[in-house]
Structure 1
C-alpha cells in the first residue's frame, strides 16, 4: 500500500482532506496531511516544504498530492525525499524563477477568471459560489468557517528549482472548477508540463465534493503509474 502525502492550497489545512483521508485509510493506505504555516508571515516556501518533510518522517512509498497553491510546494518536497508519483490536483504549476505572486499574470489567469465569472453569472465576492458550489451546503458552510488567514510571504520570492524534479507527474484537472477554469488549465498544463491533463468532474474543492471518486482516481494512478 502507499503513503499519500496531501498538501493543501492557500488558506487551508489538513481538514480540507478529511473525507479523502478517511477514504484512503479505509482502503489500507497510510495518509500524511500536514498543516502548513500559512498564517505565519515569517514562513515562505522553504518552511512549507520543511513542514511536509517533517510530517513524512521515515515513511516510504510516497504519492504526493498537491491542490491549488500546493503545486508550488510539492516539487520542492520531491527534490528532498524519494517520491513514487506526484499528482497535481487543479494546482498551480510553477516555472523556474517565477514567484507565486507572478504566476497569475504570467499565465493569463485574471482574464480566464473574468470570462468564467461571466459564464457562471457569479456575483463579485461570492467565494462560496467560486470555490464550494458543488459541495454539500452544510459541509460548504463548515469549510468557509475554517478558512485560515493566508500570509503573502510565500508569494513573494522566486520558485527556487531550475527544472521540474525527476518524478512521474500527473495533472488532474477538475472540469467544473470556477477558480482555475478547465480551458485555462488545459493550456497551462500543456505549456508548462508538456503533458495532457487527466480530467474529472467536480469543482476546485473536489476533495470535499467527490472524495470517493478522487480516491478511485488516485488508486488507478498507482495501478498504472505515469
Structure 2
C-alpha cells in the first residue's frame, strides 16, 4: 500500500481528483490532495513548498510516497520530490521540462500547438470548429454532470504568472523512479506528441490509459488501476 499525493494541473484545485480519491482508498491506499495558490507571485518553488506542506513529515509513514502530477504539475512536482523524499513520481498527461526552460517557453519548444492542430484535423475538426474550446478539448469525454459541476464553480483566474515565467531550476530530472501515463484520447497533448517529447526528454516510453486530458474526471477507475499497478 502507498500514500498518493495528487497534484492538480493548471486549474489548481484538489477538486480535480475528487472521483479518483475514493477509487484509490477503496484499494487500500492513503491519499493526499491539495489546492495550489493562485497569487501571481506564486512560482514553482512556492508550489513545491505547498505540495510538501500538504504531506507534512514524510518520515511519519512507512508507506511508499507516490507523487502524481497532472499536466502543468509536471513543472512543480519534480521540485517537491526532494522535499518529500518521494519514492515514485507519476506524470499524467503532463508537461516535461528541461533545465532552464520556462513553462511559457515549453509550448513553442515542444511544438504543442502544431501537434494539437494536426490532431484536431485528424479527428475531423476544421475551420473555426478546430479552434481551442475548453469543453471540446478538455471535457469531451467527461460525464455531463461532472462538466457542469466544474463550470459552475467560481471562475478561476488561471495559474500564477510566475509559474510560467520561472526557469525550471533543477539541473536534471530528480533521481526518482518515474512513470508517464498518457490519455489515449487527449486532444490537448496528443498521444503521439507526448510519445516524442517524453522519449526525447526523459528517455521513457509513455504508458497509455483510456481517456482524454482530464482523465481523472473521465476515467477515474481506469486511472486508479494504472496508478496502483505501478506500486
Aligned to 1:22: 22
Structure 1: gaps of 5 or more residues: none
Q: Which residue of 2 aligns with 1:97?
A: 100
Deviation for aligned residue 1:117: 2.1
User: 1:50: which partner in 2?
Assistant: 49
SS in 1 for 2:31: strand
| TM-score normalised by length of structure 2 | 0.92
Q: For 1:150-189, list aligned pairs within 5 A.
A: 150=158, 151-189=160-198
Q: Deviations over 1:146-192 (max 9, x none)?
A: 35221222100100000110000000111100000111000001000
Unpaired segments ≥5 residues, structure 2? none
Distance in 2 separating the partners of 1:58 and 1:11: 26
Q: What CA deviation, in whole Å up to 9, does each residue of 1:108-164 have, x standing for no partner?
A: 111111112222314424210100101111111212333522122210010000011
- Residue 35 of structure 2 is matched in structure 1 by 35
Paired residue secondary structure (2:4): strand
Task: Determine if the alignment matches structure 1 residue 82 to structure 2 residue 68.
Answer: no
Supply the distance in 2 between the matched residues of 1:33 and 1:41 (Cα, whole angstroms). Answer: 22
Asked if 2 retains the 8 angstrom alpha-carbon contact of 1:128 and 1:144, the reply is no
Is 1:149 paired with 2:148? no
Q: Distance in 2 between matches of 1:193 and 1:79?
A: 18
SS in 2 for 1:153: helix
Question: What is the distance in 2 between the residues matched to 1:179 and 1:110?
Answer: 9
Give the number of aligned pairs.
221
* Counterpart for residue 9 of structure 1: 9
Q: What RMSD, in angstroms, separates the aligned Cα atoms of the two structures?
A: 1.2
Q: Residue in 2 aligned with 1:194?
A: 203
* Runs ≥4 residues deviating over 4 A: none
Question: TM-score when scaled to structure 1?
Answer: 0.94
Distance 1:80 1:144 in 2: 34
Aligned-partner Cα distance in 2 for 1:58–1:80: 10
- Give the distance between the partners of 2:198 and 2:151, measured in 1 at CA: 29
In the TM superposition, what is the alpha-carbon distance from 1:94 to its structure 2 partner? 0.7
In structure 2, distance between residues paired with 1:157 and 1:212: 35
SS at match of 1:69: helix
